[in-house]
Amino acid sequence: MAINLTWKFVEPELDAIAGHEGRVVVIVSSDAKIDQLGRRVNKLTRGAVARAIESEAFEKASLGQVISLNYPAGVAANAVDIVKLDRRSDALMSRKAGVAIAKAVGSKDALILAGSLKNAVDLVQGYALRAYEFSDHKTENTEDKEAAITVMLSKAAEQSAACETALAIVDGVHFTRDLTNEPSNILTTTEFANRLVALKDHGVEVEVLEEADLEKLGMRALMGVGQGSDSPSKVVVIQWNGGAENAQPFALIGKGVVFDTGGISLKPAGGMEDMTMDMGGAGVVAGTMLSLAKRKAAANVVALVGLVENMPSGNAQRPGDVVTSMKGDTIEVINTDAEGRLVLCDVMWYAQERFNPTGMIDLATLTGAIIIGLGHENAGVFSNDDALCDGLLAAAKTQGEGAWRMPLGEAYDKKLKSRIADVKNVGDRAAGSITAAAFLQRFVKDNTPWAHIDIAGVASTKTETPYAPVGASGWGVMTLNQLIRDMCEKD
């Protein structure tokens, strides 16, 4: 969960610096120039800031890096953190600096002397993104961590509104991380649905479709995945109507496999514990909807997540079974561990049938193959529409979230031909992430702009990411917010 930060945005006040307890953050440009606020700190500390700037450590430091002076004389603060950052640094560099500050400060109170920094909002957002740890199940961390962050910046009243919007997006990122980090005995399909229902408090409409509803709709591909589990399969529909009345919504679809054993096609034991994150796509969708609601996005967006658990049992789906999707296509299940696409295909078809969206994006931790191809730096993007895909890639670049377009084509479709059904759920080992996308494309109507994002490599990682500690990254919430702002919101 996030460290509970209380934010305060105030105009620069030199006389308030000396008495601040906690940590004080000073911004120094790469040419070693400091502003009026920094000069006051330097004076109070009897030249300690100037000596640090003249040091070899500062000279060798990269932009966005922090040098800390612990227990400086002359101020009440227990540390002064010096950030190497040019005043007119771009948004991503300012966000990087914010992340570095948060790592240095931890859960302490802080006074950030932003002054006239051009992209102070991004620095604030970077700080908030990194002020996160998942310690809900550690007995030594029974109390919530809280910190008061005061930001001194020019035109504080004007910039505070922009900061609040940025922080609303961070709330969505943190919600995604919480869901993705949560162990599967806690985040069952029922508990996941309950947490999504709680989003009603933020002004969204939430509807839960239970197994009887799914059976009536003909979602037998999705239900086949969950039939071996005691946890009931569900589809949750979340609507945010911030745009024009009765205008068609944009649709977000999330894979929500709360745990994936592989089913009868059982995964190896080593690393199976990581499959708690196989609901990462649904987590991104949920976090995006929370942030859209909190920032009052002027757009109509509907999100649908398919919640299932893939378990082996006497009732589990078998390799060789044939199921009928909601669309009516029959699917030969060659491998029960290729279950995510079976969940998504029914939810995607339902979204188009019910909402006729202006466009549709699905997100899923779908294939290990995408990790082989792109590592943990980029999500794989597949699309039938250049305008949507270009907008998505541009949004990801703006937000510093790696994404790379992958191909589709008839040659890959042929790999999914089945002898006994309309299609099989996997091809051979070659191009595994592409054939998975090709399978999903069968369930996209001709007039629907669509993109599939395989986030298997970026949803949760064993090392820190630019904005997050080890574990769930929340990748995609910022990108989708940017895309919806660019494509759906009108000034």
Catalytic residues: 267, 341
Give per-residue burial for 176-191: e unless 16+ CB within 10 Å, then b. Answer: bbbbbbbebeebbbeb
Euclidean distance between CA atoms 255 and 270, whole angstroms? 23
- In the beta sheet, which residues pair with residue 307? 234, 256
Tokens of 281: 């796509």
Closest-CA residue to 400 (of 454, 297, 288, 475): 475
Tokens 């505070």 belong to residue: 160
Pairing of strands 460-461, 379-383: unpaired
What is each CA distance from 373 to 72, 136, 296, 330, 454, in whole angstroms?
49, 34, 37, 30, 11
Distances (CA, A) of 384 to 388, 430, 433, 444, 477: 8, 21, 16, 9, 22
Instruction: Tell me whether residue 23 is exposed, middle or buried, using C-beta atoms within 10 angstroms of its C-beta: 0 to 12, 13 to 18, 19 or more.
Output: buried
Bridge partners, residue 380, by sequence: 404, 454
